Amino acid sequence: MFTKSLLRLSTRTTTSAVARPILLQLPLQQRQSLATAAMSGIIQSVLQDHKEIDAYYQKYKQNAGNYDEQKKWANQLIWEVARHSAAEELVLYPAIEDKLSDGKALADAARAQHQDVKNDLYKLDQMSLKSASDSGAFDTQLRKVMDDLTRHIREEEEVDLPKLKAAISSTESTKMAQEFERTKLLVPTRPHPSAPDKPPFETVAGLMAAPLDKLRDVFRSFPSKEEVRKAEE
């Protein structure tokens, strides 16, 4: 599957000192968390992401006027939407195309919706949020992102996911969830609206962009792990 291709390609692009499967580089607790999420199946994995994205937006709104805190939660939201979107395009949508008679039409429509979100998210990612003078434009752009994303999520949860759930076995669902969670570890963490949105080209483009994104993330502010955990409760 696509995660295996990502792992093979990522190993080739690293030095021998770090050329290990990425899951083995994670702390035991994080690997266990990924395993727990994946065991619930692909539908629950996707729904959990949707819940987390909304939680981060709520935290952004709750911190109105505190621009440092708002920027942290905006960065967290951008990070999660970028990873979630790429994982859907690499894992979920190919499965929808393969398993459903109208899967190609559903997947193409979802990719088009993703493209709108990516375009708006990219604009947001380039914007400053340091003072009241920045706040109005930033709020408007983020609200546009969330409006588009909410419409997409609603359609996905009401149409795409129920159809897929009925078409796959519990074993297939678990395997897809595992692949989905692993893929999120390897894909870009910032929006790239001009990048391909289908494998194998998205796989290659993602491997090229992801290291630079992760380097940029080092210099950005994010909520702490504890803050994120509490927001997701």
Question: pLDDT digit string (tens) for 174-216?
Answer: 999 999 999 999 898 988 877 655 665 455 455 667 788 888 8
| CA 181 vs CA 36, 87, 91, 109, 134: distances in Å | 10, 8, 10, 23, 35
In the prediction, which pLDDT does 177 show? 96
What pLDDT is attached to residue 213? Answer: 85
Residue ranges of the chain whose pLDDT lies below 50: 2-29, 201, 204
Asked if 153 and 50 touch (Cβ cutoff 8 Å), the reply is yes
pLDDT the model gives residue 19: 31
* pLDDT the model gives residue 216: 83
* Residue 15 near residue 212 (C-beta atoms within 8 A): no
Q: Is there a contact between 81 and 187 (Cβ–Cβ < 8 Å)?
A: no
Task: Return the pLDDT at 192.
Answer: 85
The two tokens of residue 6 are: 């990502």
Q: Which domains does the chain carry?
A: 40-232 (1.20.120)
